[in-house]
């Protein structure tokens, strides 16, 4: 595969079962942000050297074997995908390439870095209102001083929700970037290069919302910087400043 002359290449993991439905949406969001997406599934070649960044997409629950949890009988697992994505997260960090985790992908990034999950998150966070919709119904509050708030602005954000698990113990080098109104973690991020951001919701379904598009813009800016061996944190900060200037005009 050859990199496009101007667009950073982003590898996107999906499930074999439902990825054909989800990948076009993710590819569209990456294209809007200035990148080019390629689809990866378990059982096929996924070469980190051929991309500038990765998106770990949504899907089935992550096996608790990866973080010392207990099996829940209702969980649908995909061990081949678990193994692929865990490898890719580790390789991305080794090769200094940025990562965006979406829903399951946010959880996988955290687990691959030594963190753990709440398998029944709403059983732990009983004050968190449960939604199961691609529509923006849930409210999240962003943590001050985070890269996420720089990209999207500081107001509470309306998001969708399609999850039962959530981050518990943070992985190495990660911090909380957002919580819902009941205190459940809804986004995690890394402070240093490589850029890494995980969101518990599905921004690809909310492409009409500029704050959600900004998440993909941050990843693509970091991927372009990684390709050119520049600071990803600096590139994302500049992208955030440009987005903030646009927000000042639009708001």
Cα–Cα distance for residue pair 202/68, rounded to 1 Å = 26
61 bridge partner residues: 77
From the candidates 85, 118, 204, 205, give the one annotated as an active-site residue.
204
From the candidates 103, 118, 189, 205, give the one annotated as an active-site residue.
103
Reported as a single tens digit per residue, the pLDDT across 174-223 is 999 999 999 999 999 998 999 999 999 999 999 999 999 999 999 999 99
Residue 147 exposure: Cα atoms within 13 Å on the Cβ side: 32
Residue of 6, 39, 33 whose CA lies nearest to 203: 33
Backbone angles phi, psi at 140, to 5 degrees: -125, 150
103 annotated active-site? yes
For range 239-244, the mean pLDDT: 91
For range 16-30, the mean pLDDT: 88
Cα–Cα distance for residue pair 85/81, rounded to 1 Å = 6
For range 228-251, the mean pLDDT: 85
From the candidates 85, 163, 189, 202, give the one annotated as an active-site residue.
202
Break the chain into its structural domains and give their ranges: 9-250
Please tell me the predicted confidence (pLDDT) of residue 193: 96
204 annotated active-site? yes
- Can you name the CATH fold of 9-250? Rossmann fold (3.40.50)
pTM summary value: 0.93
- 107, 153, 181 from 212: Cα distances, Å: 19, 11, 19
Residue 24 has pLDDT above 80, yes or no: yes
What letter does residue 10 receive in the DSSP assignment? Answer: E
Residue of 98, 48, 99, 100 whose CA lies nearest to 226: 98
Residue 73 has pLDDT above 70, yes or no: no
Residue 105 has pLDDT above 60, yes or no: yes
Cα–Cα distance for residue pair 110/88, rounded to 1 Å = 13
Reported as a single tens digit per residue, the pLDDT across 31-61 is 999 999 999 999 898 999 999 999 999 987 8
**Which three-class secondary structure string do you get for 161-173?**
ECCCCEECCCCCC
74: confidence class by pLDDT, cuts 50, 70, 90: very low
């Amino acid at each position: 595969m050859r990199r496009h002359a101007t667009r950073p290449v982003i590898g996107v993991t999906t499930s074999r079962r439902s990825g054909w439905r989800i990948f076009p949406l993710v590819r569209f969001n990456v294209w809007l942000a200035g990148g080019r997406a390629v689809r990866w599934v378990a059982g096929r070649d996924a070469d980190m050297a051929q991309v500038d960044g990765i998106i770990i997409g949504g899907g089935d629950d992550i096996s608790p074997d990866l973080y010392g949890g207990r099996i829940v009988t209702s969980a649908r697992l995909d061990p081949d995908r678990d193994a692929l994505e865990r490898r890719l997260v580790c390789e991305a960090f080794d090769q200094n390439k940025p990562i965006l985790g979406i829903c399951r992908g946010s959880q996988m990034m955290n687990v691959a870095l030594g963190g753990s999950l709440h398998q029944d998150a709403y059983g732990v966070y009983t004050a968190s209102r449960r939604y199961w919709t691609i529509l923006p119904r849930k409210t999240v509050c962003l943590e001050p001083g985070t890269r996420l708030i720089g990209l999207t602005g500081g107001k509470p954000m309306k998001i969708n929700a399609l999850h039962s698990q959530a981050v518990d113990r943070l992985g190495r080098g990660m911090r909380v970037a957002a919580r819902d109104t009941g205190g459940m973690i809804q986004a995690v991020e890394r402070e240093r290069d490589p850029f890494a951001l995980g969101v518990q919701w599905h921004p690809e379904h909310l492409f009409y919302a500029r704050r959600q598009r900004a998440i993909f813009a941050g990843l693509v800016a970091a991927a372009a910087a990684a390709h050119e061996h520049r600071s990803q944190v600096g590139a994302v900060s500049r992208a955030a400043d440009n987005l903030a200037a646009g927000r000042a005009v639009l708001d």
